[in-house]
Amino acid sequence: MAEDQTLRRSLKTSREDEARPLKDFIARHCPEAPVGFLNKLLRKGFVLVDGAPGGEKTRLRAGQQVEIHLPAGAFLVAPNPEVPVRVVYEDDSIAVLEKPAGLVSEPGIGHKLDTLLNGLIARYGKAQDRIGPEHDYGMVHRLDRDTSGLMVIAKNVEAHERLSGQFRRHEAEKRYTALLVGRLPQESGQVSLPLGRVRRGGRAVGVAGAGEPQRALTRYRVLERFDGATLVEAQPQTGRWRQIRLHFRALGHPVAGDPDEGDAAANAQLSRAAGLGRMFLHAGALKFRHPETGRPLAFSLALPDELEKVLNRLRRARSLESHERRGL
């Protein structure tokens, strides 16, 4: 998108929008933007209805054209320099980032200003603005809020399209370290289970075999075994929402500490025994080809200290139990 082209959204109203307030309509279609920011655009005349400025009291009819224009230098995603952006590698085309657990990747309900994308807009400014919302502001893939690890973003449209193609064709490789509840019966295997989404109670929920399910495949191998838990390396072959979490839950061995898809009793036990205070899922390895040069790139990231400490406690407990069994 050219720097001086400020049109950001062009939307068509439908029957369900009949008599809907304009401010509610744009808030629904621009969930990444703070409501106060959208209201400011309305007051300043940057939202057009059938070519004329709309207002906060404008009510819509079906079939109308709603256009959102932004002044130069403004973003639908508000920049927030307070959000930390941890850069592992960057050049003119891409940046590889370390996302900490607890940080949401992009704005949505309940998170308008405190996401990774708010921090990226603040850090990269015009580069992210040129990419624009139609190219996801350069985000090629996402990590769940409670997952830590590596992400790659693009700094221009061409890099975004090429990287997205690699992820779409499953040419990029992602490897995760996960602690699972219980003892997996085999040393390696795979889960092939179509996944989709449905809405329950106003929020999206990942489900198996429903909500327009799509093919999903996860391969895994056991790294280490503990009493009541198994450490695995998981390699998703597809990129469905919450894929690893849903697949291991379907196996009967959910990710330890998972607040949504996990086992609450097992999580509480691991919290007491090993100090687990977050979901044990870490995107520790990422491979792809550079979008400009085609050169293979590989990045790795060690487990965060809080997860390494959990493993050390589990190892000590295993060692102690082994000594007790041998009467030492």
Residues assigned a catalytic role: 144
How far is residue 229's CA from residue 235's CA, in Å, rounded to a whole number? Answer: 19
* SS3 label, residue 237: coil
Token pair of 222, please?
Answer: 């056991």
What does each C-alpha distance from 57 to 14, 21, 43, 204 come to in angstroms? 19, 6, 10, 30
Helices then strands, each counted (H, E), the chain: 8, 15
Virtual torsion, Cα 314, 316, 321, 324, nearest 10 deg: -170
Q: Inter-axis angle of helices 264-274 and 305-325, to 10 degrees?
A: 80
How far is residue 69's CA from residue 76's CA, in Å, rounded to a whole number? Answer: 10
How far is residue 190's CA from residue 30's CA, in Å, rounded to a whole number? Answer: 38
How far is residue 28's CA from residue 45's CA, in Å, rounded to a whole number? Answer: 19
